[in-house]
Amino acid sequence: MGAGVEGPVGSKKEVAECKHKFANSNDPVVSQTFTLDRVFNPEGKSLTSMRGFRYCSWSPLGCDANGRCLLAALTMDNRLTIHANLNRLQWVQLVDLTELYGECLYENSYRLSKTQEPSQEDLGNFAEFQRRHSMQTPVRMEWSGICTVQQVKHNNECREVSSVLLAVVFENGNIAVWQCQLPFLGKESISSCNTIESGISSPSVLAWWEYEHSNRKMSGLIVGSAFGPVKILPVNLKAVKGYFTLRQPVVLWQEVDHLPVQNIKSIPLYHPYQKCSCSLVVAARGCYLFWCLLLISKAGLNVHNSHVTGLHSLPIVSMTADKQNGTVYTCSADGKVRQLVPIFTNLALKFEHQLIKLSDVLGSIRSHGIAVSPCGAYLAAITTKGMANGLHPTTKTYQVQFVTLKTCEEAAAQLLESPVQNLYRQVDLTDLVRWKVLKEKQIPRFLQEALDQKIERLGSTYFWRFKLFLLRVLSQSLQTPPSEALWRPTHEDTKVLIVDSSEAGGSEKQPSEQGRQDLSEAHKDQDSQPAPSTGGAQEQSTEEKVLEIQAQMEAVEMHLTREHMKQVLGEVYLHTWITENTSIPTRGVCDFLTSDKNYEDRTARVLIGHILKKMNKQTFPERCSLCKEI
């Protein structure tokens, strides 16, 4: 096993001997290269310690045991691990991929495949020492989308099996693709690991290319080099049925122009002229933006590429994209952000760009990175103080600044026409609407009318939940905020002063004087207060409004409860055999839905009638959480 934090490159004794040999070599090229390379020499000795994170990547939502995201973290000492937030604010390391991959290489004698002949050089050769480290030193890693397939069980019942892929590119250009079963629990959830040779020297960035054409899902890996080239590699997902890949690698940019690729984004779009889906790949190269439009037609794969110039005077340090509409945001170190909107033409596309100066709002700043919220409502920027009077600040304080990119009206319109039908996945849009309701203490009239029309015409539970959300925020806005934070302890002095009887006689006159003083202060307070009729009427109107809102909330909650009960009864009607741990109070749910005679729901009555006829075929028990088994 290897020493320090790197993966195993040989036995511990052999690695220690080689390190001592290279550090004290008479050849200055070998000794200085070894001493200054932090991959070989993570301790550093006289160099600064390697602490912190080099790169992090979030998985899609729904990958851990609680349905949240996983975090793949690459530390400064080249350790790649996967973490999960199992409890509130408690992160737990689930697996160490650097250790696992090092063990696999050690077992295969540092070969990519068993058919490849092992190297004849021993670890004492500096070139072999470098090769073994470079093939297991991660550069970047990215998660794919969740892959879902149908699996038939022994009783002919279908169940969905989900998995996610984590691609890791190493210094030598190889890419390891880990397939993880969901929910991801640890080492036992890793089903396979395949290694791909990219042919890219000095890889700098990695991204997944996911494309859907004629209901066929395709995937690949986009790899960028520090020397300039960009290409898409095919990823053969043999274990995931229904997913396809490219027949051969596709070179998006071939010239070695020494403009390093810093960031890559793949955006799925719809081509209005070709009437089909397409894929837009954008990459930050120096101070330019490289774009490539990929379109599959009957003739094959069409590739259009070009560069957008004149965006920044300094290199692009960060780039993000809104996958809802394809808008791209680039950022340079001087605090300038460019918003690029793709516009399709008959041949390819063009970009309309707009300058956003963060320094106009935040003052002199230096920006380090940007990110856009999932639905494009907010832009987050990491900044530090810029130069003042031509001098750099003595200390750096990193801050996260938020910039709103949409108005409340735009957010509300997007929520009403959203194909997602899930408020939880559009929390940035709902936050804008929430802020508007809290500020004005009323639901905007245009939103109320449009929502009522949607409910009357479609009746989807999504719009009912949206209405309940607005009513709850409105109720919160009308409540009187507490004077102190509820979590803060009170500091009232509850001690009583006990005096002697001798002192009590001298203080008999004090209560009368104190009473006159309190009475005069009470008169002053009454004079300063407004007329009781105006204040009382205002409080009464507010209380009536709160009671009216609570009544509306109860009506909406009752409607949603009934709709959810109907969904449960629908599942009961379609499945006469359910797993042994399932217990549903079917008859109790039916009785609840028919108890209110004023509520006419023909769908529920027809469904209940069909269920009661087939209750004798039911093979699963009925149980309510509040009572015993029926």
User: Residue 621's pLDDT band (boundaries 50, 70, 90)?
Assistant: low
Give the pLDDT confidence of 169-210 residue by residue, as tens digits: 999 999 999 999 999 999 999 999 999 999 999 999 999 999
Same domain membership, residue 348 and residue 371: yes
Is the pLDDT at 610 greater than 60? The verdict is yes
* Higher pLDDT pick, 237 / 446: 446
Q: How far apart are CA 318 and CA 539, in angstroms?
A: 52
**pLDDT reported for residue 173:** 94
Is the pLDDT at 304 greater than 80? The verdict is yes
Average pLDDT over residues 210-215: 83
Q: Extract the tokens encoding 330.
A: 């680039």
Is the pLDDT at 155 greater than 90? The verdict is no
Give the pLDDT confidence of 392-450 residue by residue, as tens digits: 888 999 999 999 999 999 999 999 999 989 999 999 999 999 999 999 999 999 999 99
**pLDDT reported for residue 6:** 43
Q: How far is CA 600 from CA 571, 589, 597, in A?
A: 22, 16, 7
Q: How far apart are CA 453 and CA 447, in angstroms?
A: 10
Same domain membership, residue 294 and residue 390: yes
Is the pLDDT at 526 greater than 90? The verdict is no
Which residue in 282, 293, 308 sits closest to 346, CA to CA?
A: 293
Which residue in 126, 122, 123 sits closest to 29, CA to CA?
A: 126
DSSP state for residue 45 in the 8-state scheme:
T
Q: Is the bond into 183 cis (omega within 30 degrees of 0)?
A: yes
Same domain membership, residue 312 and residue 448: no
Least confident of 91-95, 271-275, 415-419, 581-585: 581-585
Average pLDDT, the chain: 84
Is residue 77 in a domain?
A: no
Is residue 525 in a domain?
A: no
Is residue 588 in a domain?
A: yes
Same domain membership, residue 430 and residue 294: no
Is residue 559 in a domain?
A: yes
Residue 366 contacts residue 333 (beta carbons within 8 Å): yes
Same domain membership, residue 429 and residue 341: no
Q: How far apart are CA 50 and CA 54, in angstroms?
A: 10
* Higher pLDDT pick, 233 / 481: 233
Is the pLDDT at 11 greater than 80? The verdict is no
Question: Taking the model in full, what pTM does it have?
Answer: 0.81
Same domain membership, residue 445 and residue 572: no
Is the pLDDT at 160 greater than 80? The verdict is yes
**pLDDT reported for residue 590:** 83
Q: Of the candidates 340, 375, 405, which is a domain's last residue?
A: 405
Is residue 107 in a domain?
A: no
Same domain membership, residue 393 and residue 285: yes
Same domain membership, residue 295 and residue 376: yes
Q: Which residues contact 590 (CB under 8 A, 6 or more apart)?
A: 569, 608, 611, 612
**How many distinct helices (H) and strands (E) make up the chain?**
14, 25
Is residue 272 in a domain?
A: yes
Same domain membership, residue 396 and residue 420: no
Is residue 378 in a domain?
A: yes
Same domain membership, residue 271 and residue 380: yes
Same domain membership, residue 597 and residue 610: yes
Is residue 348 in a domain?
A: yes
Same domain membership, residue 373 and residue 295: yes
Q: Of the candidates 478, 497, 524, which is a domain's last residue?
A: 478
Domain count for the chain:
3
User: Residue 1's pLDDT band (boundaries 50, 70, 90)?
Assistant: very low
Measured between its terminal Cα atoms, the distance across the chain in Å is 61
- Domain containing 329: what range? 258-405
Q: Extract the tokens encoding 177.
A: 């693709």
